[in-house]
Amino acid sequence: MKQLTTDVLVVGAGPAGSITAKYAAMGGAETIMVEKKEEIGMPIRCAEGIAKRWIGDVGIKLDRRWIACEVEGARIISPDGSEFCINERLAGNEVGTVLERYIFDKVLAEDAARAGADIMLRTAAKEVIKENGKVVGIRGESMGEPVEIRAKLIIGADGFESQIGRWAGIDTNLEERDIITCFQYRLTNCKPNMEYCDFYMGTAAPGGYVWVFPKNETTANVGLGVQLTKLKNPGEVKMYLDQWIARTPEYAGGKPVAFNAGACSLSAPLDEATADNIMLVGDAARMIDPITGGGIANGCIAGRECGEVAALAIQSGDTGKEFLQQYEKRWRAKLENALFRNWVAKEKLVTLSDDTFNKIIRTLAEVGVDKLSVGNILQVIYDRHPELAEEFADLL
């Protein structure tokens, strides 16, 4: 068996893992990042929309190679076809740029490597090694051979699967209502709106939405997510998308050049993302925004904090849970309030009928939502549709 030791082991080479590995290595920690696939950034499990405003905060340099398309903002479309647009500044962390993830993720991994992190591909963790109740490493397989990697600190950046944390005893289990499963085509031979990322609300995607994110003049990521509580039979997610495409003239003639599937969490923040010798980051720590379903920004923002605290922990020789509370404090300061607020709002949104979506979106279109914050949007609904006020009372 191959045996390795390191200061910091990052499991998963998505954006959150690479940013964590970069900052851990920059802080002087010997860092290994393992990825079970043979190629970072593939296969895609993502609609590929981000805003750019946060990327400098985590040291990402704008690079044309990973930008497929830039848009003004988001267009929200009701079941009856009413629409309103929000510009990038107000639309949250998921709108403005449509990525090529297969390049973006590699560029982030290159940054981690440049900072000194080692990368091992086709290396999968199968279990954690525990000694005296504490996690001290992982056992798995690397290029088909058994491997054991011992580390002072293990970072679970293993995405939605979130197995490292659960093997270590951190509760990342999800309620059915906090799970969205998704299906997406990269659809060509269609004419997407190049100015906006489109979000179609209502029962086309129960408890979720349909998205159309343009990649170029004739190609878009067309996908949807459906809340797990709204699904009954195998394969319904794909069926919902196929039905929506068939009845939507702009996309009915589209041809797929790829399809992707996956799931994401729309949950309240975890009680704990740390234990002795272990930290969770990104989708693995259930950091996805519960309204938009976007996880890249939050994963990268928390990844910087995670990597910096990892380096500090190695420097100080203390990787215990108490020391790692620095990470809990830092990521929660940046993300927790918004995650909780948006989770509460999501719990409301998933209950709305098509008729209610029609009313709300028509109202917002009339008012012109560009000048509004999320709080003001709720106030406008309250003023114009007092009959909906009770439904939204707890959000106001």
Partner 1 sequence: MKVNVDLCMHCGACVGLCPQNAIYLDDTRITFNDDCVSCGRCRKACPVGAIRWDDE
Q: Which stretch binds partner 1 (CB under 8 A): 167-175, 212-220, 319-327, 359-367?
A: 167-175
61 makes contact with partner 1 (CB under 8 A): no
Helices and strands (H, E) in the chain, number of each type: 10, 18
Give the x/- contact pattern for partner 1 in 177-216, rule: CB under 8 A. --x-xxx---------------------------------
Q: Tell me whether residue 69 is exposed, middle or buried, using C-beta atoms within 10 angstroms of its C-beta: 0 to 12, 13 to 18, 19 or more.
A: buried
Question: Which residues are within 8 A (CB) of 41 and not within 5 positions of it... i.e. 6 or more apart?
Answer: 101, 102, 103, 104, 105, 106, 109
* Angstrom distance (rounded) from CA 272 to CA 278: 11
256, 185 Cβ separation under 8 angstroms: yes
Which CB, 114 or 126, lies closer to partner 1? 126
284, 164 Cβ separation under 8 angstroms: yes
Which listed residue (22, 36, 106, 359) binds partner 1 by CB under 8 A? Answer: 36
Which CB, 26 or 128, lies closer to partner 1? 128
Which listed residue (18, 19, 26, 45) binds partner 1 by CB under 8 A? Answer: 45
155 makes contact with partner 1 (CB under 8 A): no
| CA dist list (Å): 345 to 2, 51, 82, 137 | 48, 21, 21, 39
Which listed residue (6, 20, 82, 163) binds partner 1 by CB under 8 A? Answer: 163
Q: Which of residues 256-315 bind partner 1 (CB under 8 A)?
A: 260-263, 265
* Angstrom distance (rounded) from CA 321 to CA 207: 37
Question: Which residues are within 8 A (CB) of 360 and not within 5 positions of it... i.e. 6 or more apart?
Answer: 78, 352, 381, 385, 388
| Shortest reach from residue 182's CB to partner 1, in Å | 7
Which listed residue (4, 37, 129, 380) binds partner 1 by CB under 8 A? Answer: 37
Q: Rg of the chain's alpha carbons, rounded to an integer?
A: 21
231 makes contact with partner 1 (CB under 8 A): yes
151, 136 Cβ separation under 8 angstroms: yes
Question: Which residues are within 8 A (CB) of 201 and not within 5 positions of it... i.e. 6 or more apart?
Answer: 76, 77, 78, 79, 209, 357, 361
232 makes contact with partner 1 (CB under 8 A): yes
- ∠ Cα 385 389 390 (to 5°): 145
Which listed residue (234, 249, 317, 386) binds partner 1 by CB under 8 A? Answer: 234
Give the x/- contact pattern for partner 1 in 120-149, rule: CB under 8 A. --x-x-x--------------x--------
Strand partners, 31: 8
Which listed residue (23, 160, 209, 331) binds partner 1 by CB under 8 A? Answer: 160
Sign of CA dihedral 373, 57, 328, 178: positive
Give the x/- contact pattern for partner 1 in 2-31, rule: CB under 8 A. ------------------------------
235 makes contact with partner 1 (CB under 8 A): yes
Which listed residue (23, 66, 84, 167) binds partner 1 by CB under 8 A? Answer: 167
Which CB, 179 or 360, lies closer to partner 1? 179
Residues near partner 1 (CB under 8 A): 36-37, 43, 45, 122, 124, 126, 141, 159-163, 166-167, 173-174, 176, 179, 181-183, 228, 231-238, 260-263, 265
